[in-house]
């Protein structure tokens, strides 16, 4: 279905806003009757009040997740049956695609074009991909002596807490819950407090698809209470986390303080995007470079936030990126033609604005943007911003801004480009643009990052290829076969053959 502004407006009027916890197959209020306000960054207005999960709710969800896991209603189902149920879930997401897209747009401020045409289709694809592979995977038999047979089999780990951020509310949740559920685990989803509604909604969709009660719960709440209690819970066997490195480090500590639960982390980035002067299509590179930082308002973990350009093309190339940014301004998120929407909340908007002021004080020059936008709406918007003459040791080149702010640096030699690219505590992604295949392969090998894009930036990304970080960008991977291992134990069985 092609979206029209009129259709979006009509659907918005019919929307119901989910607000409760989802535990053991039922929506319910927090036992302590605590709530938090849910504010839309589109206009700064309150959407609804969300039930706030506290310790008693967490204990209840974890105990039903553990009980159903032990009874095997889901964990012992043949993979082919779990597959059918998750394929049904994918169909239900397609059925409710516009509703879910609107919930994420209203909660988080991103455009309906992004939620409807990117987040929802990719989430559905991710579920289908994991559903389709699970009954085609085999375990192993060891090449041991004739007197023994060694089996290496995989088993679900148990109760998984999935703690996710707000930048792609549904999509980031699906990256955890699709592989965790398909491998037979019970899953407790804690959405970000800024964007809980689509997560709450999928509780009922998973039940409708046939997932047994207790296997999937949703616990909205904040980090310090709800997130922390889940991470410290002794009956949670694994925390799959996406968010900031700062909180990722806390999650590792909570694991050590409780039961040594497995921790998978997808954290932040400050990804380099290197443009060599011999790039075959500088216009395409400029378009992609602008998209890599201004798409999703720059609120992207793998955003190409450090543009590293060879000196001889520096001025021309930055002019091109600045030109492209003119079509990437924020506008009404409900209009399907808008490129960018609102920044998630006032706190994040202030953070972005503060970094722009720091960049000015550090001596970098603003090429375009640099201002808060659309203040008349009451919402949170920021102009696409490009800093020139940046040094790699400046704060704006080292710290994750998580907004539409590009820092442009320049280099003279291949070695200097790679050294600059690697001079960061992060290692999530990188881009390399050159027509010299040898240079591209050498750069890809030398850059310390989980993903390297050659002559594109994030264009072909799908569920098949793992995504994750080197260094302080994380531990483990989402997507691909590799993500299944986050949620599986390896069992070795020795059988004596007599």
Out of 119, 237, 266, 485, point to the residue binding ligand NAD (CB under 6 A): 266
Q: How far is the CB of 43 from ligand NAD (least distance, A)?
A: 21
Work out whether strand 474-475 and strand 262-266 pair parallel, antiparallel, or are unpaired.
Answer: antiparallel
What the block records as the tokens of 475 is 């531990």
By 3-state DSSP, what share of the chain in percent is helix, strand and coil, each rounded to 5? 45, 20, 35
400 touches ligand NAD by CB under 6 A: yes
Q: How far is the CB of 450 from ligand NAD (least distance, A)?
A: 8
Task: Give whichever of 352 and 467 is closer to ligand NAD, judged by the CB atom.
Answer: 467
Q: Is 266 a catalytic residue?
A: yes
196 touches ligand NAD by CB under 6 A: no
Residue among 231, 267, 301, 380 flagged as catalytic: 301
**Residue 145 burial (C-beta neighbours within 10 Å; 0-12, 13-18, 19+):** exposed
160 touches ligand NAD by CB under 6 A: no
Closest residue by Cα to residue 384 from 356, 359, 406, 404? 404
Residue nearest to ligand NAD (CB): 223
Q: How far is the CB of 368 from ligand NAD (least distance, A)?
A: 24
Residues 6+ apart with CB under 8 A from 156: 69, 75, 183, 184, 185, 487, 488, 489
Closest residue by Cα to residue 242 from 467, 425, 489, 457? 467
- CA distances 37 to 47, 170, 243, Å, are 8, 20, 21
Q: How far is the CB of 65 from ligand NAD (least distance, A)?
A: 17
Positions 434 through 473 that interact with ligand NAD (CB under 6 A): 467, 469
Q: Per CB under 6 A, which region of 77-85, 97-105, 185-193, 270-278 contacts ligand NAD? A: 185-193
Q: How far is the CB of 400 from ligand NAD (least distance, A)?
A: 5
227 touches ligand NAD by CB under 6 A: yes
228 touches ligand NAD by CB under 6 A: yes
187 touches ligand NAD by CB under 6 A: no
Out of 107, 128, 193, 485, point to the residue binding ligand NAD (CB under 6 A): 193
Work out whether strand 238-242 and strand 262-266 pair parallel, antiparallel, or are unpaired.
Answer: parallel
Out of 39, 428, 443, 447, point to the residue binding ligand NAD (CB under 6 A): 428
Q: How far apart are the first and last CA of the chain?
A: 64
Q: Are 359 and 394 in contact (CB under 8 A)?
A: yes
Residue 28, phi-psi category: left (phi > 0), alpha (psi -120 to 50), beta (remainder): beta
Out of 60, 66, 83, 190, point to the residue binding ligand NAD (CB under 6 A): 190
Out of 355, 402, 433, 487, point to the residue binding ligand NAD (CB under 6 A): 402
Q: Is 425 a catalytic residue?
A: no
Dist. CA 105–CA 46, nearest whole Å? 14
Out of 65, 172, 180, 199, point to the residue binding ligand NAD (CB under 6 A): 172
Q: Are 134 and 79 in contact (CB under 8 A)?
A: yes
Dist. CA 290–CA 106, nearest whole Å? 25
306 touches ligand NAD by CB under 6 A: no
Residue among 266, 299, 400, 458 flagged as catalytic: 266
Q: How far is the CB of 176 from ligand NAD (least distance, A)?
A: 10
**Site of interaction with ligand NAD (CB under 6 A):** 163-167, 172, 190, 192-193, 222-224, 227-228, 231, 242-244, 247, 250-251, 266-269, 301, 400, 402, 428, 467, 469, 474
> Where in the sequence numbering do the catalytic residues fall?
266, 301
């Amino acid at each position: 279905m092609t979206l029209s502004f009129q259709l979006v407006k009509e659907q918005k009027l019919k929307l119901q806003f989910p607000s409760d916890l989802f535990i053991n197959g039922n929506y319910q209020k927090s036992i302590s009757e605590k709530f938090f306000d849910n504010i839309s960054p589109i206009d700064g207005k309150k959407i609804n009040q969300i039930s706030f999960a506290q310790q008693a709710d967490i204990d209840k969800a974890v105990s039903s997740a553990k009980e159903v896991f032990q009874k095997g209603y889901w964990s012992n189902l043949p993979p082919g049956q779990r597959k059918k149920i998750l394929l049904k879930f994918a169909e239900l997401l397609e059925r409710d695609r516009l509703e879910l897209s609107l919930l994420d747009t209203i909660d988080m401020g991103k455009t309906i074009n992004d939620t409807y045409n990117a987040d929802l289709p990719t989430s559905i694809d991710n579920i289908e991909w994991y559903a389709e592979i699970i009954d085609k995977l085999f375990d192993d038999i060891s090449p041991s002596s004739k007197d023994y047979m060694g089996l290496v089999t995989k088993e679900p780990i148990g109760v998984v807490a999935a703690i996710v951020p707000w930048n792609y509310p549904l999509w980031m949740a699906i990256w955890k819950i699709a592989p965790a559920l398909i491998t037979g685990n019970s899953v407790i989803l804690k959405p970000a407090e800024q964007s809980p509604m689509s997560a709450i909604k999928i509780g009922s969709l998973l039940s409708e698809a046939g997932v047994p009660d207790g296997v999937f719960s949703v616990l909205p709440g904040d980090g310090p209470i709800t997130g922390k209690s889940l991470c410290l819970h002794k009956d949670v066997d694994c925390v799959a986390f996406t968010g900031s490195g700062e909180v990722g480090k806390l999650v590792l500590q909570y694991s050590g303080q409780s039961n040594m639960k497995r921790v998978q982390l997808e954290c932040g980035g400050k990804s380099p995007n290197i443009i060599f002067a011999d790039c075959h299509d500088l216009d395409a590179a400029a378009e992609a470079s602008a998209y890599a930082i201004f798409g999703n308002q720059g609120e992207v973990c793998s955003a190409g936030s450090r543009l590293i350009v060879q000196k001889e093309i520096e001025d021309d190339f930055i002019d091109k990126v600045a030109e492209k940014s003119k079509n990437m301004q924020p506008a009404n998120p409900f209009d399907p033609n808008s490129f960018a929407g609102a920044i998630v909340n006032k706190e994040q908007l202030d953070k972005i604005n503060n970094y722009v002021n720091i960049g000015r004080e550090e001596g970098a020059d603003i090429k375009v943007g640099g201002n808060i936008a659309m203040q008349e709406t009451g919402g949170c918007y920021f102009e696409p911003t490009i800093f020139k003459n940046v040094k790699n040791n400046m704060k704006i080149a080292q710290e994750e801004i998580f907004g539409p702010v590009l820092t442009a640096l320049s280099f003279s030699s291949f070695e200097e480009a790679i050294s600059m690219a690697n001079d960061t505590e992060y290692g999530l992604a990188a881009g390399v643009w050159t027509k010299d295949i040898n240079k591209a392969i050498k750069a890809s090998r030398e850059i310390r990052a989980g993903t390297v894009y050659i002559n594109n930036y994030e264009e072909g990304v799908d569920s098949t290829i793992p995504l994750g970080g080197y260094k302080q960008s994380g531990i483990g991977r989402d997507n691909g076969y590799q993500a299944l291992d986050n949620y599986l134990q390896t069992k070795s069985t020795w059988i004596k053959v007599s």
